[in-house]
Amino acid sequence: MKAATLRTFQTVHTWTGLLAGFALFVAFYAGALTVFHDDIAAWQNPPWRAAADAEVSLDTLMERLLAQHPDVRDDFGIILPRDGSHAAYAYWEAKDGTRFATASQMEAPRTEAAENELADFVYALHDSLGLPVIGLYLMGIVSVLYGLALLSGILIHLPQLAKDFFAMRVGRNLKRLWQDAHNAIGVISLPFHVIFAVTGALFCLFTITLVSLNTIAFDGKLFDAFARATATTPTVTASGTPATMLTTDALIERARAEAMKSGVTTFEPDYMHFVHYGDRNAVAEVRGLSQHTLGSYGTVAMSAHDGRVLGTYVGDRYSLNGISYASLFGLHFGSFGGRTVQWLYFILGLGGAFLFYSGNLLWIESRRKRRHLDQPRKTWVMARATVGVCIGSCLAISGAFVATWVAERLGVDAGVPQRAACYGLFLGACAYACLRPVARATVELLWATAALTSAMAIVDLAVNASAMLHDGSPLTWRVIGVDLTGIALGIVFALFARAAARRARTGDANSVWALRAASPSATGSGLSQ
């Protein structure tokens, strides 16, 4: 490869990584936690402290829905509770938007699916940085830049791959050590990063892509064709003849039995969809999660009147379109292989966050003046941004856990406190990184994150120890797992803080990470040292 071509790829790799790196750090750190979405939900509402309406049956929920909103019987859905401590809720399309309601909320339904669920909030940070509407498209663009960074990185390192792949040169040259760690993690996890980049771009930019192609290339026919290719609910016309509907329990058991004939070993229903409920031609569709298959989410459509199966899209009875569509979700979220794959994705998520953090450190090290105290302004700005955004987002997410825990025990809605704590701590950390010396801000924010993360987990374990011992259900182990993971993360942050402190005391003085020297340029530019 010519030197000019190599420099071009290096420029593309550097700038796409820098432009997308901060958003990707948040997406990967929050994404690692999102792998255990249901476990975090159980942590917020453990089995010994059930949420409101958790005891209300699905049939009672539907009776209240149809009594309060009879117009929705032609099309509505029921989100099934993920465990016994959560409540099922209905959703439907009203004239002014989608509505959501548990059994006791029918008179005043919500406009958001989950206003106080911590697990959904962490997922929103991963999916869209918590920004409504625009955040999803922003992350789509970030995913495209992420793909360019991957491609250019492969082309840059391919010639030296065989020689340097297993090199981990520990010594006084910290830049070379960070470079080796950055390369090793990038190469080992490359297949997964390709999956994340492609599926992330597809999910985030899907609507825009579909609208564009529909207008430019398909003469307005793409929407209908896509709907037919991916539809799992049979198209039926109401007969006008009232009929008795099967109970939800009967429909779920019928769907589970049908799904198990399709080569899957599990089918855990999480969603029901009803069309023309109460009519003789009514359709009930049950969606469920099957483990150890790429098409992890499948559906069974039945007559809601007599349980006759109308369509099965599970396991080996998927269509090519269906298995392709369903596989995207399984590959992105790691929902296809049980606990082992979940832990693998968790480690990959943290590794991805480290990849973007180390990329920024390499950029800073490459541009600092090694023989001068006076460092370029852009080096200081990038160092402060890296500390504020990366460590600040970890601190902020831990703060959201704390706020949710406190709000739940005070009996108030956790939605506002968890968002206020998360965004407040994030902005506070960014401001702190701008005002304090970089080395001090790094160490102090890491210690704060370590203390908050581990303290939350230890307090939760201590307060709930008696209930955990008494309950002993599988849900209890999920709660314990979240707490133990929090303690482990707290220890890792503490180790990082200690290493950063040592680096600040004994490392190269001509560095933004050193405490021994102050930078005249930083002081002069208003970035106080």
> Region 77-92: what's the mean pLDDT?
90
206-244 pLDDT tens trace: 888 888 888 888 888 888 888 877 778 888 899 999 999
* pLDDT at 529 exceeding the cut of 70: no
Q: Identify whether the C-beta of residue 298 lies closer than 8 Å to the C-beta of residue 326.
A: yes
pLDDT digits (tens, 9 = 90+) for 96-118: 889 999 999 999 998 887 778 89
Does residue 45 surpass a pLDDT of 70? yes
Which range among 122-126, 206-210, 257-261 shows the weakest confidence by mean pLDDT? 206-210
Residue with structure tokens 């030197």? 3
Q: What is the 8-class DSSP label of residue 294?
A: S
Q: Which pLDDT belongs to residue 528?
A: 37
The pLDDT value recorded for residue 523 is 43
**What is the per-residue pLDDT for 54?**
87
| pTM (two decimals) | 0.85
Residue 164 has pLDDT above 70, yes or no: no
Percent of the chain with pLDDT over 90: 50
Number of helical H runs and strand E runs in the chain: 18, 7
The percent of residues in the chain predicted with pLDDT above 70, rounded, is: 92
| Options 2.30.29, 2.60.40, 3.10.450, 3.10.20; CATH of 231-333 | 3.10.450
Q: What is the mean pLDDT of the chain?
A: 87
Q: What is the dihedral of CA 495, 498, 501, 502, to 10 degrees?
A: -100
Instruction: Please state the separation of Cα 342 from the chain's center in Å.
Output: 13
Amino acid in position 333: F
The residue type of 246 is L
Amino acid at 481: G
Q: Given pLDDT bands bounded at 50, 70 and 90, which one contains residue 154?
A: confident
Predicted confidence band at 288 (pLDDT cuts at 50, 70, 90)?
A: very high
User: Band of the pLDDT at 390, cuts 50, 70, 90?
Assistant: very high
The pLDDT confidence band at residue 433, using thresholds 50, 70 and 90, is very high
Nearest to 398 by CA among 131, 136, 33: 33
- Tell me the C-alpha distance between 513 and 19, whole Å: 22
Give the orientation angle of helix 474-506 with respect to helix 37-44, to 10 degrees. Answer: 100
What is the spatial distance between Cα 492 and Cα 274, in angstroms, rounded to a whole number?
Answer: 48
If you ran DSSP here, which 8-state letter would residue 337 be given? S
Query: CATH 3.10.450 occupies which residues in the chain?
Result: 231-333
pLDDT score recorded for residue 295: 79
Alpha-carbon distances, residue 474 vs 64, 253, 468 (angstroms): 31, 22, 10
Query: Does residue 417 surpass a pLDDT of 70?
Result: yes
Residue 172 has pLDDT above 70, yes or no: no
The reported pLDDT for the residue numbered 335 is 81
